[in-house]
A and B are shown apart, each in its own frame.
Chain A
């Protein structure tokens, strides 16, 4: 097993992080007080009790917390502080680049404007880049369980941000089954028309079948797949992902928490490596799902002890290569990875 310090030192990119899923109890209470929000009667009243609750036992408990959590976010400052808190925490774990999801419909449906949410997150990203040297991209997700015409309206509303590059990518999340990629073709096409350079991704193949991954590639023309673990069911698809160099943004601890697998070692990551399918390691909704970026790396290192410095190096380099950053930064980061590998190999030798 590689040493913890090695994992910590690796320059990591995160591609699958829902910013609303980073709301820690301290901030939840802070925002609720500041915004004069009356929490439900049976809601925990202390940070400690709420933290205990975060070890929820069933989906209903998770949703109860998640819904309340999302609803305390009201002002631009709330979104700023939420986002900054994430960067502050994870920059200490070796984060060098983050591509952040946000779900505007979660907030616009509560009469919180798209501008408030977007500006708050973007301002934090800019400040984090200055303070921590972490580069960023912002990905606007469509909620697939909502009516596609509502998603289409969101694209219209976000046109200025898509055109000026504030929103760098479009994603698709929420309940996968019964809401296949085909429903959102026109939304994605609309986004491309607004900005031909926009990047596209979609959650697929987490609870949905491998064909959702193929459909996301063929119909939505995505550049990346979020989750995609069910791709392992289809060898031809794996060959395609390898050939077309489509990266999967894998979320190990989330997959366990949501029972996609029983334990991290059951994820088909070795199969992905064997087929040459690139993947990155991510935290998804870390406040709720058991750990931030480095926690996911650590758990993997425990359950895949056969992965040495070079395998880890390759995984991290894949994440860098498939990040939506310029070639110069990619080269810098890859060189940094090589330097770290050399250091640890020489040290252990």
Chain B
């Protein structure tokens, strides 16, 4: 019997739960649960009142805008009394007198996604022909007309945030792949910039030589099977697969702007060559699939929504469809974090399921399962991370796991099994051996640090070794890219070059800023360039700007070399900037997050 049953007038929790306990419980409640709890009685209403509770707003901020489920942020270490993520650190430093409600509002309403660098494939989330407002001076040109890239942060055309859209489309997280950026919204949807996130290169998906079931190809085969067969003398009927030379025909009422606009039912004019009449569309099935699975932002074709495969009907059709109890709809799946490799990305949803976008053949994410692991219950996935060509996750009570391939999906399969391995000695949760942070290089090579923070461990080919580096202080966080390793200690921020995944111990640089009161708290790298975010919300870039791509965001080549005097031209079209150089974000602006990949860079910037 509960207290409530024994005394209905007395709130059940008021007498039993102290504020400390409630506060400790908040991280495990959803915003809706917190809201409901606040309505149970006066005590909780006061404690959890959205209008006045600092505790609640801070927790809400932490929940919505922290990236705790990726290796972008480390785990909380043992002796930390209060753990703050990068965004929290910046807002506290930048707006010390603001309430958490104010900070939450600023982050939600005033923060925008900016990008710059190489324009190829629409990877910046806009093109020169899109609605992005790009000043002429921000375009790097090669030759008379060639546009190489964008040399300063440009606001990516996004859905206008108002009372109706703010809860869905505020950007929570960004991550950078080799050819695109991935964007996670507050409503748990994922978007990807450009026409391809793979660049045509295979990710850690189905094993080499294998392909997932593809309903598009199946439809093609059905169409071809419906066409006439020809019989050869002395032989059976031969197949005609693959005889669609050239292209398909367009339906008679398809409108292609601005070249042609043909009203339905109106036959084209015949020319002297008897050009025929409108054609029927036997490819209507493709159009239907495309409608169901392709979605771009309004007015911005360069940002596409990324759907999970199991939310799309045409993947899930089986012979006994009625008995299918695992059917998902797009609305069922809400993602909570994303991370990107070179040609792939991972996402974790709020059911603790991992989805993998890893195939050149499909833009739809594959639900992953791990044989012998109960990841949705007793062995939840706490963090995900992507390397150049593989994935890693931290699983509660199991430790770090890595995989670079998964089982192939056959027709009707709802999920794929990741071919994972456990990194030995990483399962500890109570002692100094608890993993605090990890970073993924390539070929299943993983760096990780533990709670005692005094050594850097490297996992490679099934074996864990300890690395000895010339650094001082306790290691708090590590970040890796294709060509660099950054180690954040409680003293300094160390930068090392990577060559083929190996640390060049002689390349050590301590990243120091001119401002002694500021320091880096987050860093991202593309192929050859780096972007750092400081505790004050300042953004710095340095490294190599290849082929005048503009990926440093410091302005035109002439401006960097002749006016700022921070860089030199190399190989005619590259610019190298050695020292971290501050980006001009505008008065009152602050960086909230940074991402980079390939020859492109992005940031979430708060414009106050």
Contact = CB atoms under 8 A, between A and B. Distances in A.
A209 B194 CA distance: 13
A240 B146 contact: yes
Closest 6 CB pairs of A and B: A185-B200, A36-B233, A236-B128, A290-B273, A182-B196, A59-B249
A219 B245 contact: no
B244 A174 contact: yes
Interface of A: 18, 20-21, 35-40, 55-60, 62-64, 66-68, 70-72, 74, 103, 105-106, 109-111, 141, 143, 145-149, 173-186, 203, 206-207, 209, 211-212, 214-215, 218-220, 227, 229-230, 232-237, 239-240, 242-244, 253-254, 256-264, 266-268, 284-285, 290-291, 295, 299, 302
Contacts of A71: 230, 238, 240, 243
Interface string B262-283: 1000001101111111111111
A260 B202 contact: no
Most buried by B among A18, A37, A232: A37
B238 A243 contact: no
A261 B201 CA distance: 34
A77 to B, nearest CB: 16
Given A177-B286, A215-B121, A186 B202 contact: yes
B573 interface: no
B573 to A, nearest CB: 14
Contacts of A58: 277-280
Given A58-B277, A58-B279, A243-B146, A256 B268 contact: yes
Interface of B: 120-122, 127-129, 142-147, 195-196, 198-202, 209, 211, 214, 216-217, 220, 227-234, 238-250, 252, 254, 256-260, 262, 268-269, 271-283, 286, 289-290, 301, 360-361
A191 B390 CA distance: 26
B303 to A, nearest CB: 12
A211 B122 contact: yes
Contact of A219 (B143, B200, B249): B200
A98 B56 CA distance: 73
Contacts of A62: 249, 279
B256 A260 contact: yes
Nearest to A235: B129
Given A37-B232, A177-B286, A219 B246 contact: no
Given A145-B220, A243-B145, A260 B259 contact: yes
Given A178-B286, A260-B256, A64 B228 contact: yes
B244 A175 contact: yes
B207 to A, nearest CB: 12
B129 A37 contact: no
A46 B325 CA distance: 58
Nearest to B128: A236
B199 A59 contact: no
Contact of A103 (B201, B242, B280): B242
A345 to B, nearest CB: 27
A220 B120 CA distance: 12
A284 to B, nearest CB: 6
Contacts of B242: 103, 105-106, 109, 143, 145-146, 174
A192 to B, nearest CB: 13
A39 B272 CA distance: 31
B277 A21 contact: no
Given A148-B361, A178-B290, A215-B196, A110 B129 contact: no
A290 to B, nearest CB: 4
A110 B227 CA distance: 15
A185 B276 contact: no
B245 to A, nearest CB: 5
Given A36-B232, A207-B250, A183 B129 contact: no
Contacts of A59: 248-249, 279-282
A259 B269 CA distance: 11
Nearest to B228: A40
A38 B235 CA distance: 11
Contacts of A66: 243-245
A218 B199 CA distance: 9
A227 B250 CA distance: 15
A147 B260 contact: no
Contacts of B214: 147
A239 to B, nearest CB: 4
A256 B271 contact: yes
A196 B229 CA distance: 40
Contacts of B241: 109, 146
A178 B228 contact: no
